[in-house]
Amino acid sequence: MNAAATASMTSTGEAVQFWILAVVATGGALGTVLMRKAVHSALSLAGTMIVLAVFYLANGAYFLGVVQIIVYTGAIMMLFLFVVMLVGVTAADSLKETIRGQRWLAALCALGFGVLLFAGIANASLRSFDGLGQANSGGNVQGIAALLFTKYVFAFEITGALLITAAVGAMVLTHRERTERAPTQRELSVARVRRGKQVPPLPAPGVYARHNAVDVPGLLPDGTPSELTVNATLRARGQIRDVSAEALGELAALEQRSSEWQGQKQGEGRKGAAQ
Amino acid sequence: MNPVNYLYLAALLFTVGAAGVLIRRNAIVLFMCIELMLNACNLAFVTFSRMHGNLDGQVIAFFTMVVAAAEVVIGLAIIVTIFRSRHSASVDDSGLLKL
Amino acid sequence: MENLIGLLVLAPLLGAAVLLCGGRRLDRAGHWVGTLLAAVSFVIGVVLFAYLLGRSGDDRELGVTVFSWVPVGGFRADVGFQLDQLSMTFVLLITGVGSLIHLYSVGYMAHDERRRRFFGYLNLFLAAMLLLVLADNYLLLYVGWEGVGLASFLLIGFWQHKPSAATAAKKAFLVNRVGDMGLSIAIMLMFTTFGTFAFGPVLGGADGAGEGRLTAIGLMLLLAACGKSAQVPLQSWLGDAMEGPTPVSALIHAATMVTAGVYLIVRSGAIFEGAPDAQTAVVTVGAVTLLFGAIVGCAKDDIKKALAGSTMSQIGYMILAAGLGPVGYVFAIMHLVTHGFFKAGLFLGAGSVMHAMDDEVDMRHYGGLRTYMPITFVTFGLGYLAIIGFPGLSGFFSKDKIIEAAFAKGGTEGWILGGAALLGAAITAYYMTRVMLMTFFGEKRWQPAPSPAEPGAEPAAAHGAGELPHPHEAPRTMTVPMIVLAVGSVFAGGLFTVNNAFVKWLEPVTGHEEGHSPVSALTVTAATMAVLVVGVALAWAQYGRRPVPVTAPRGSLLTRAARRDLLQDDFNHVVLVRGGEHLTRSLVYVDHTVVDGVVNGTAASVGGLSGRMRKLQNGYARSYAVSMFGGAAVLIAATLLMRAV
């Protein structure tokens, strides 16, 4: 094998790694698109990104591989997850399409685009791979640094300005200016009395029942469960455990058993009387 | 194996990401799909860097990451703001200019 | 002296302005103001006439430029007046007859509550007519020409509450528009040919212009003259114009305005002399109209319409004479003046008769009036003798000369024209005798007044409807003008002919040459006398010896056609109105289907397309993303294709 051929072919190890990880990356990408829950999408995406980091390393981009893990997977994806937690109260997206024909058009476009892109790559007169041995001879990080601070220094500085602008923009966008004085506790209590609704503190969950977990509603004196005792967030999520039904079910079972037992006794007595 | 396969993978990931942009309505997922497309591009850049034997492609990929980070920060801030006022993260609901 | 010329026009113009703007305050004295200013104009005219007489024959042209009207670059149109013998003749006729008719109207319109306005219009007419004959260029002449058209319109429709009068006014205006268009085209042609409108350069340079150009100008001028002077084919308005008050018919539609066409042709003589074809057209129009009008005049039972036919016919004589060139110009103007006298007198007489008969106009309901209205009878009779050309009276001299000149044309043409003129004379004698006999002789055929007629104009309408009229002589304000005009009818012709005075007077302006008739003057006179006698005898046999039926008999085909103005209106209706309607309808159809179709179709297709395109703009960001993505795919495809090629 000559040098060019060596450069244009990868080692067997890399090939095995590629074929395995490519499947993982594609699976992650599909998962990102197809998962109903945003959290799952984010996790799938994180997986794809880690695979990509490995590919970067395999391609000789050591610095980028590390940055990919730290910045993308570590920072950006966490930011995503953070926002999902902040926003995604709705547990899962409806996957039902609302725009007529959108899905068909999207599939058609994606298919056409993909086919054309593949055709383009296959058709391109790609030169043989030179490999990065020479470029990375002084160290990958040093090489990138040399480029960044010489050839691309201007773009680099502008990127810095962009990042600062983005940070300031994010703060401006998410900051909420208080336009009025916050009500004092006294005012809040007065307002509550005036509304005439639940003046005393809300009842604690599970107090009169056999459970004291926060997702179990307390029972009212007549035995019916009161949803008011459960945290509003849990109520919104529908995560209320209906212990009363369990308890009543158990009670019924108990009575059943005792009545069976008593019936047995009565039957025996009846038998005895008949005799 | 020919390293061109990296390019095919990049094209595949890009296409999947684009399809996701078109299909998903949740703005956050939509953003994730955009990140996926950007990452696919980065992979292509890195592969090109290897192909040409110089580091320029990696530098470009580095810049892409920076820009993507800035974009995500601003984009997510916008999503949060919109969610606060409209209680929805669906892009279809942001249609005040719609007829 | 020159400044008096401006005053001549200014006096009646001032009268019109004062009377029309003055409002009701002038209601009581307005008619006298109007009459006074007309008389002032006449006095100025007489003074100027005396001044002109005091100068030598070739030095009788006065000119004054009042102000420069349209000074544009090298082009100038001035408001300037030119007073020569031709204008002077007209000025005297217009102001003289005009003043008399103003005076007559004082009595005739005495009971009309809009009398002030009537006198305002009359003064406006005088001013416009004077402007017409005094202008020293064609553009200013055109102003006067339109001015008299306006005054004519206003006065024909003066009793605008009568639909017939309103329609007649509109008809006169519309028909006159056709002629006016001819005049405006003629003026434009003059400007392109000579670069100016002034009489001097235009008429002086006529020899240098091409004959085709001159023929075109001449024909357009003839069209203008036909419109204004009610000549075939634009004569249809004159009969209806009799709906106006009788003084208006006398002044405008007999004596002055309708002769403006003759003035135009005589004034533009130099142009016609350079265009023999146009001259032929002029004499043809004249000959046809003089027979046409005469035939119509024979059949009409309405006294004013009979006289209107006569007017048409007499103006036909004038146009004929004017078309003959220098041989006829003088006689055309002479006949114009004498006609002005006797026809105005006849109309005033007719007005007097109508006045006495409760505005009855049908001659079949007259009869035997000579004893009741002696003054009217005598003045009307003198006018009658004058118009038929009774020897010694004015019509005799002027008409005889025209017939002579027609024969002098020479060749077949001369015989045809002369024969037509002679025949016209015979018919004139016939229909005028008919009018005379039906009105003043025979037994009474009076009918009860049908209903209250023309408002105001009727002092004798004191008695109610259903009674027989009580004919009576008119008040003095009416009889005096009639007497003056009758005197004029009797003596004007002789006065003009003695010592060839009129020819000498006009010759410096119009030029004159003696005709060389193939028949001697004496023969022509004898022939005229003969046809005169025949015409009178025929009328006597038909209307004098036998009683006149009260309702018109059905009559021959010709009579019935003549009663309908020889089907002129029917012809106009079928050819012009129907044709116009069809043209309009087809144009409207084309407009609705083709033009609107294109416009609306474009709008509809754009609208429909937009409606469909709009659906693409559904406001969903994801739809737009699909478009972008599809576009990207297309771009890649294009790139690949380009590389493949």
In a domain, B1, yes or no: no
Most confident of C14-23, C139-148, C389-398, C609-618: C139-148
Give the mean model confidence (pLDDT) for residues A27-38.
90
- The pLDDT score that the predictor gives to residue A267 is 61
Alpha-carbon gap, residue A24 to A20, rounded angstroms? 7
Residue in A closest to C620 by C-alpha: A99
B93 has a chain A CB within 8 A of its CB: no
Q: C311 pLDDT band (50/70/90 cuts)?
A: very high
Least reliable range by pLDDT among A264-268, C211-215, C345-349, C399-403: A264-268
- The pLDDT score that the predictor gives to residue A208 is 53
Q: Check residues C515 and C508 and name the one with the higher pLDDT.
A: C508
Residue C155: how many other CB atoms lie within 10 Å: 27
Neighbours of chain B (3+ CB pairs under 8 A): A, C
Contact state of C625 with B25 under an 8 Å Cβ cutoff = no
pLDDT in tens, B16-52: 999 999 988 888 888 999 999 999 999 999 999 988 8
- The pLDDT score that the predictor gives to residue B97 is 56
With tokens 């018109």, the residue in question is C552
- The pLDDT score that the predictor gives to residue A211 is 67
Residues C549 and C447 in one domain: yes
Parent domain of B66: 25-86
Asked whether residue C283 carries a pLDDT value surpassing 90, the answer given is yes
Domain count of the fold of chain B: 1
C638 has a chain A CB within 8 A of its CB: no
Residues C414 and C493 in one domain: yes
Sign for the pseudo-dihedral over CA of C192, C196, C202, C206: negative
Which amino acid, C570? D
What percent of chain C has pLDDT above 90? 46
Contact state of B91 with C617 under an 8 Å Cβ cutoff = no
In a domain, C1, yes or no: no
Q: What are phi and psi of C62, to 5 degrees?
A: -110, 145
Neighbours of chain C (3+ CB pairs under 8 A): A, B
In a domain, B51, yes or no: yes
Residues C547 and C501 in one domain: yes
- The pLDDT score that the predictor gives to residue A2 is 46
Contact state of A102 with B22 under an 8 Å Cβ cutoff = yes
In a domain, C314, yes or no: yes
Map residue C77 onto helix, strand or coil: strand
Q: In terms of C-beta density within 10 A (0-12 exposed, 13-18 middle, 19 or more buried), how is residue C592 classed?
A: exposed
Respond yes or no on whether ipTM tops 0.95: no
Parent domain of C622: 573-644
Contact state of C619 with B97 under an 8 Å Cβ cutoff = yes
Sign for the pseudo-dihedral over CA of C7, C9, C10, C11: positive
- The pLDDT score that the predictor gives to residue A90 is 56
Candidates B15, B16, B21, partner chain C, best to mutate (most C CBs within 10 A): B21
Q: Check residues C554 and A166 and name the one with the higher pLDDT.
A: A166
Strands C75-83 and C62-72: antiparallel
Alpha-carbon gap, residue A34 to C72, rounded angstroms? 86
Contact state of C622 with B97 under an 8 Å Cβ cutoff = no
- The pLDDT score that the predictor gives to residue C457 is 45
Q: Check residues A179 and C141 and name the one with the higher pLDDT.
A: C141
pLDDT in tens, A81-135: 888 888 765 556 666 777 778 888 889 999 999 999 898 888 877 767 777 778 7
Asked whether residue C236 carries a pLDDT value surpassing 80, the answer given is yes
In a domain, B32, yes or no: yes
Last residue of a domain, one of C553, C583, C611: C553
Residue in B61, B24, B27, B22 with CA at minimum distance from that of residue B41: B61
In a domain, B93, yes or no: no
Distance from CA of C604 to the nearest CA of A (A): 27
Contact state of C625 with B97 under an 8 Å Cβ cutoff = no
Q: In terms of C-beta density within 10 A (0-12 exposed, 13-18 middle, 19 or more buried), how is residue A136 classed?
A: buried
Residues C532 and C598 in one domain: no
Residues C342 and C431 in one domain: yes
Candidates A76, A89, A96, A103, partner chain B, best to mutate (most B CBs within 10 A): A76
Contacts 24+ apart (CB under 8 A), A27-31: A29/B12, A29/B13, A29/B16, A29/B17, A29/B36, A30/B16
Buried b (16+ CB within 10 A) or exposed e, C427-457: bbbbbbbbbbbbbbbbeebbbebeeebbebb
In a domain, B73, yes or no: yes
Contact state of B98 with C620 under an 8 Å Cβ cutoff = yes
Map residue C237 onto helix, strand or coil: helix
Alpha-carbon gap, residue C395 to A188, rounded angstroms? 122
Residues of chain C found within 8 Å of residue A117, distances taken between Cβ atoms: 636
Asked whether residue A4 carries a pLDDT value surpassing 70, the answer given is no
Residues C478 and C342 in one domain: yes
Distance from CA of A212 to the nearest CA of C (A): 48
pTM of the model: 0.63
In a domain, B3, yes or no: no
Distances in Å between the alpha carbon of A156 and those of A23, A145, A153, B56, B66?
Answer: 35, 11, 5, 13, 10
Residue in C171, C104, C124, C111 with CA at minimum distance from that of residue C474: C104
Q: Residue B1 is nearest to which of A15, A113, A176, comparing CB atoms?
A: A15
Alpha-carbon gap, residue A220 to A79, rounded angstroms? 43
Q: Residue B9 is nearest to which of A25, A42, A127, comparing CB atoms?
A: A25
Map residue C268 onto helix, strand or coil: coil
Least reliable range by pLDDT among A74-78, A152-156, C552-556: C552-556
- The pLDDT score that the predictor gives to residue C464 is 53
**Cβ atoms of residues C148 and C252 within 8 Å:** yes
Last residue of a domain, one of C553, C588, C613: C553
A111 has a chain C CB within 8 A of its CB: no
Residues of chain B found within 8 Å of residue A45, distances taken between Cβ atoms: 32, 35-36
What percent of chain A has pLDDT above 70? 84
B 7-66 residues with CB < 8 A to A: 7-9, 11-20, 22-26, 28-29, 31-33, 35-36, 39, 42-43, 46-47, 49-56, 58-59, 61-63, 65-66
Looking at the DSSP assignment, which residues form a beta bridge with residue C70?
A: C77
In a domain, C4, yes or no: no
Domain count of the fold of chain C: 2
State the average pLDDT for chain C. 88
Which amino acid, C628? M
A204 has a chain C CB within 8 A of its CB: no
pLDDT in tens, C457-490: 444 444 455 677 888 888 888 899 999 999 988 8
- The pLDDT score that the predictor gives to residue C371 is 87
Residue in C401, C395, C399, C425 with CA at minimum distance from that of residue C492: C395
What percent of chain A has pLDDT above 90? 27
pLDDT in tens, C366-422: 888 888 888 999 999 999 999 998 888 888 888 888 998 898 887 888 889 999 999
- The pLDDT score that the predictor gives to residue C455 is 46
In order, the DSSP letters of C269-304 are HHHHHT-HHHHHHHHHHHHHHHHHHHHHHHH--BHH
Asked whether residue A221 carries a pLDDT value surpassing 70, the answer given is yes
Residues of chain B found within 8 Å of residue A127, distances taken between Cβ atoms: 51-52
Residues C440 and C526 in one domain: yes
Asked whether residue A13 carries a pLDDT value surpassing 50, the answer given is yes
Cis amide linkage into residue C452, ω under 30° from 0:
no
Alpha-carbon gap, residue C62 to C64, rounded angstroms? 7
Residues of chain C found within 8 Å of residue B97, distances taken between Cβ atoms: 619
Asked whether residue C226 carries a pLDDT value surpassing 90, the answer given is yes
- The pLDDT score that the predictor gives to residue B36 is 94
Residues of chain B found within 8 Å of residue A48, distances taken between Cβ atoms: 13, 36, 39
What is the number of residues in chain B? 99
Give the mean model confidence (pLDDT) for residues A175-184.
82
- The pLDDT score that the predictor gives to residue C453 is 47
Which amino acid, A171? M
Give the mean model confidence (pLDDT) for residues A154-175.
91
In a domain, B66, yes or no: yes
Q: Residue A116 is nearest to which of C626, C636, C643, comparing CB atoms?
A: C636
Give the mean model confidence (pLDDT) for residues C576-602.
91
Tokens of C362: 């049908």
Asked whether residue C585 carries a pLDDT value surpassing 60, the answer given is yes
Q: What are phi and psi of C79, to 5 degrees?
A: -90, 100
In a domain, B36, yes or no: yes
